[in-house]
Amino acid sequence: MLRKLFIASTIIMLSFVNVFAGSAKFSGKITAPLSDEIQVSYYANLLDYSQKIISARLDKDGNFTMNIPLSQPYTQLQIQHGDQATEIFIQPDADLKMAVNANSFDSTLTYSGKGAELANFMAKHMLESGFMMQFGSVIQPLNKKEPEEFKTTANAAMQKELDFLEQNKKGLPDGFDKYWKAWYQYSIYSDMLRYSFMHAMMKQKSMSVKLTKEDYKMAMDVPIAFDDKYVGIPPYVMYVSDIYNNRYKAKIADDSTVSEVVKKEMQQKVVNEQARQTMPAKTREYYFANQLYSNVKYNSLTTVEKMYADFRKDYKTSAYDSIIERVVGLKRKMAAGQPAMDFAFTTLEGKSMKLSDLKGKVVYLDFWASWCGPCLRELPFAKKVKEHFKDKEVVFLNVSIDEDMNAWKNAIEKHSIGGTHTCEPGGWQAPAAKLYGVQGVPSYYLIDKQGRFAAETSPRPSETEALIRQLEALLN
């Protein structure tokens, strides 16, 4: 069975904590190799979704060896060779040996050495169920179902994974059974927290949904269950990010006497206080680091600086320091009046340009992708804005993070997207996207005629009147 590497994307930012520093040795032999190297990748820090990638060359007999630095009791590795991929969990101090015939990758894959029991458990799981992150694709369609059917069907999917563990747990490390169960239980909790919005969106076929207190009933059924042992599990930190926020939204959903701005301010104060009072130390540190990291883009520099000072006061040394310092530093560089970071690009027509070539014109910089639903929903509004500024000194620069160039070109043609287009290899890691710290798409930036950032936050095309007003002001 052919399996290609699957890495799920998500709008939630996660993180690992360095509590089990160590390394593991990974070696092996590949018969009938598909390429001259093997690569492993894993999330070194999921607060910013940075990946650690380690490659090893095969010798003439197909042998390889590598050392993998680790910071968790269990680290989920994706292993890639040619167009074949698999995943395992590995522990610090493992000395794991892989053997495989690449022509029959999944069926011949075996492990030996220290840590082999856990790796062989995962090899069998790949054959029967695929990548663990694909569990989300099993749950996603269930959001169409009514609440009780959703819970029944989702829990049945989880039970299938727990049954697999029970049938194959012989020889597994002590404690892994709890880790495995937590991974899937918090996955279900996270899906229950997202259900209210997802169900309404699918039912109404719109992203613009207004939820009532009754809609949040599913979220209220999710228990408060924090445990620092699970801070390294992605679904756990998704749950940590959402649990109190959703409960608060349920509480005030039907209150029409308070503005949305005031509701948001109140929500942050109440939820933060609940986190301080009830979350254990490592969970609480993650929560506040993630809150700061996730809100840097959407708040003023003044607000961000205050949030950062508060975080540093509470956590003088934190596992998340380097990441937060980087995004706050980027926020300072992108404050209104600061020069926009220059980058080179090649247009759809093949012309080589730089952002600085556009000085003298107002630039509306849009990072997007053909697979991005919210990006596509902005297109009708963007078309109106572009038509309003037709023949004026405004450049709509569309920077795609697509990795499939054909998909990018087809989307431009299919949707008749106007403006200047570019798409550089690398996706999220493309030079311009990294330079601007793009964490999600769509992302918009307004740049004035002098090549300076014109605003700390730029309106979306769907905020049509506000965007037109700002563009008009920059032209004058």
- Which residues touch 390 (CB under 8 Å, ≥6 apart)? none
Q: Contact at 8 Å (CB) between 167 and 177?
A: no
Show the tokens assigned to 35: 């390429």
Please tell me the class of the 344-475 domain: alpha beta
69-88 pLDDT per residue, tens: 998 899 999 999 999 999 99
Q: Which of 38, 16, 43, 44 is nearest to 26 (CA)?
A: 38
Q: Contact at 8 Å (CB) between 183 and 233?
A: yes
Show the tokens assigned to 409: 């070109």
Looking at residue 57, what is its pLDDT?
98
At which residue do the structure tokens 């390294």 appear?
A: 232
Greatest Cα pair distance in the chain: 73
Q: Contact at 8 Å (CB) between 43 and 50?
A: yes
Looking at residue 13, what is its pLDDT?
32
Show the tokens assigned to 51: 């990946």
Q: What is the C-alpha separation between 418 and 396, in angstroms, rounded? A: 8
Looking at residue 10, what is its pLDDT?
33
- Which residues touch 423 (CB under 8 Å, ≥6 apart)? 348, 399, 400, 401, 402, 405, 408
Q: What is the C-alpha separation between 213 and 220, in angstroms, rounded? A: 10
Write the DSSP string, 80-149: EETTEEEEEEE-TT-EEEEEEEGGGHHHH-EEEEETHHHHHHHHHHHHHT--GGGHHHHHGGGGGS-HHH
Which DSSP helix (H) or strand (E) runs through 386?
helix 373-388
Q: One fold for both 22-130 and 344-475?
A: no
Q: What is the C-alpha separation between 36 and 454, in angstroms, rounded? A: 49
Domain-wise residue ranges, the chain: 22-130, 344-475
Kindly state the DSSP code that residue 428 receives in the 8-state scheme: G
Looking at residue 1, what is its pLDDT?
32
Which residue ranges in the chain fall short of pLDDT 50? 1-20
Q: What is the C-alpha separation between 301 and 176, in angstroms, rounded? A: 43
CATH for 22-130?
2.60.40
CA distances from 393 to 68, 126, 347, 357 (A): 52, 55, 18, 13
